[in-house]
Structure 1
Amino acid sequence: MSEQLTTIQASNHPIYFNQKGYQALNAHLEQNKYTNLFILVDSNTNEFCLPRLLPQIATDLTIEIIEFENGEIHKNIETCVQIWNVLTELGADRKSLVINLGGGVVTDLGGFVASTFKRGIDFINIPTTLLAMVDASVGGKNGVDLGNLKNQIGVFNLPVMVLVDSTYLETLPKNEMRSGLAEMLKHGLIFDQKYWEQFLDLEVLDFSDFDALIHRSVAIKNEIVTLDPTEKNIRKALNFGHTLGHAIESYFLESQDKTTLLHGEAIAVGMILESYISLEKQLLTKAQYNQIKTAIKAVFDDITFDPKDLAPILELLVHDKKNEYGTIQFALIDGIGKIKINQLVENELILEAFKDYQS
């Protein structure tokens, strides 16, 4: 693992990499006179990641572990209420600190819990999945799902630091690694053609230097978020693949006869569909589109859509948070490495994209 990765300065907090992060964490605990320390984990990170974290923390503070069941299905307000109650029972106050140790569900929900408890207490994100490292832990979006509608309830609020330690990835199943890869591919497609091209032949990708790829992905996301913290403008670029991807993810989550998709699996489909739409709107060449479709399909299994699936998926687009004035706004790619936001797309073209995806 490369240890020399530079610390990335986000708008008001640092993002540390590997061992340097634990030194910074301990220095932070010493400087800030916290009353107590809570570590939020889910059932997976309690078992696989907490044993790595605890020996790294040097503090006299009382450390309380709060665990909830893992899975997107628990990313809801009921879980938050349970955690707020536990914090209250354990004597948390305005000077308590929460460390969120986990994937996107833990960092999204934990950030929301901390941001709203007593009108906001400090929190630190230690992402343990590839997806959370390159996406959920950066940018200050915290929140929970409302039924099957993703991230409908939430706040923008920043952690006091983020600590990315790639050794946690050793405990991650292959499908979860792939899920995170989807967001890295997206960062290349919307912002950095050279970065995208590093993923074109995954057979020869040097995983010993995977840390450098993670670092670049975090840097891209941070650069975009710093320009537009509350998503009024360029931050919408990060929604590429997500307008249709989120609708697909929600539909598969609520359908009895469908296997639930991981976030990255749904986003991979969304990126192919939205690349097709970009092609039809003459923003991409046929060669570029084929390159994107081939590269993504080489990593991700095909998802099958029945004709009856499409109407409910289109229906879910209406609830997308990116909509304004009742119109559905897409972020489309304008060549590889550039983006066009606020693009309107008619339903016929979306259905055509699904047809092409399945061909």
Structure 2
Amino acid sequence: MQTIQANNYPVHFNEKAYEALNLHLQNNKYSNLFIITDSNTNEYCLHEFLPHVATELTIEIIEFEAGEINKNLDTCIEIWNVLTELGADRKSLIINLGGGVVTDLGGFVASTFKRGVDFINIPTTLLSMVDASVGGKTGVDLGNLKNQIGVINVPVMVLIDTQYLATVPQNEMRSGLAEMLKHGLIFDKNYWEQFLDISTIDFSDLDILIHRSVVIKNEIVMQDPTEKHIRKALNFGHTLGHAIESYFLENENKKTLLHGEAIAAGMILESYISWQKELITELEYRQIKIAIKAIYDPVQIEENDLQPIMDLLIHDKKNEYGTVQFALIDGIGAIKINQLVENELIISAFLDYKS
């Protein structure tokens, strides 16, 4: 598949990815090479990756325990200390091999260690391939608040090898699919319509679908790298989705949700709001709700959960001057950003979601 040129770095696919990696290692005088993994990718992906690396550099593996719960500053401090103990310097290269937690956290570690060292991201989950691969967002959670600490800093390159998806459980694949659905809803109606009946999708063409998703996100990010304007479109489903995800993460009585599971719920809720604001038709809303609910189990949200979820909205990163702002779809395949939504309408969306 054709390489995608993102904002100051390329996204290479499959065999071209390793050719580009080894050429880069050959042409740059790095002092040493560190590979950051979590416990999952260390077990399932590292042994597949290492044979592709042609270098005489010393390679050190740094592993942390898998899970969103470990995407925090404590883990960063541990990795910074290990890098220091192993003699990392400003000419070191860091490769982040893993899902979104690894690439977000590893990118932040690299961007801040000695004021920044080169890093390469190799996403190994569907979610990280279609979402975390583009845009340069790095960072960690602050308590249960998603991605509160971080910087925008681009990698040297991103390498997408879809062979790693063979190691990904079905629930994680569905989690990544949510971002692909989002890309269709906000940017490409024809792309969205490919997912209306999941049983008709030929997943042997998954590479093509992934490539299209990366192209869509890249086209948006290239227009607005620092998320001042149109890049906010990518937050469709995330204003309420992140609040739900954070609430379920902190509540010991709730089952922790995968990112895509929360975002799927968020997209239904925010589609309802789009309908109520006459940005989409009722028919379009029903189509979205039916299609998403056919893929994802409903999130169990009780009446006493609503206020704590609403309280978390104020921490959303799109907010300005203390007001909650939404990105809503303006017809399938288009978006309106900076939309204010009344609390009553948000509650109404939750009530409809449960119906």
Shorter-chain-normalised TM-score: which range?
over 0.9
Equivalent in 140, 143, 165 of residue 139 of structure 2: 143
| Aligned residue number for residue 183 of structure 2 | 187
| Aligned-partner residue type, residue 41 of structure 1 | T
Residue 201 (structure 1) shift: 1.2
Equivalent in 210, 221, 224 of residue 225 of structure 1: 221
| Aligned-partner residue type, residue 165 of structure 2 | L
| Aligned residue number for residue 328 of structure 2 | 332
Equivalent in 163, 170, 173 of residue 174 of structure 1: 170
Which residues in structure 2 correspond to 1:261-340 (within 5 Å)?
261-340=257-336
| CA RMSD across the alignment | 0.4
| Aligned residue number for residue 46 of structure 1 | 42
| Aligned residue number for residue 255 of structure 2 | 259
| Aligned residue number for residue 31 of structure 1 | 27
Structure 1 residue ranges without an equivalent (≥5): none
| Aligned residue number for residue 121 of structure 1 | 117
Matches of 1:130 and 1:142, distance apart in 2: 18
Does the alignment pair 1:70 with 2:66?
Answer: yes
Does the alignment pair 1:196 with 2:192?
Answer: yes
Residue 40 (structure 1) shift: 0.2
| Aligned residue number for residue 91 of structure 1 | 87
Equivalent in 208, 211, 214 of residue 210 of structure 2: 214
Question: What SS does the aligned partner of 1:303 have?
Answer: coil
Residue 187 (structure 1) shift: 0.2
Residue 270 (structure 1) shift: 0.2
Cα offsets for 1:141-179 (capped at 9, x unmatched): 000000000000000000000000000000000000000
| Aligned residue number for residue 16 of structure 2 | 20
Residue 137 (structure 1) shift: 2.1
Matches of 1:80 and 1:302, distance apart in 2: 34
Matches of 2:300 and 2:89, distance apart in 1: 49
| Aligned residue number for residue 235 of structure 1 | 231
| Aligned-partner residue type, residue 24 of structure 2 | H
Matches of 2:189 and 2:66, distance apart in 1: 35
Matches of 1:111 and 1:198, distance apart in 2: 33
Residue 304 (structure 1) shift: 1.3
Matches of 1:88 and 1:185, distance apart in 2: 41
Question: What SS does the aligned partner of 1:332 have?
Answer: strand
Matches of 1:209 and 1:331, distance apart in 2: 30
Residue 306 (structure 1) shift: 1.0
| Aligned-partner residue type, residue 177 of structure 1 | M
| Aligned-partner residue type, residue 274 of structure 1 | E
Residue 204 (structure 1) shift: 1.1
Q: Give the structure-2-normalised TM-score.
A: 1.00
Count, aligned residues: 355
| Aligned residue number for residue 148 of structure 2 | 152
Q: Give the structure-1-normalised TM-score.
A: 0.99
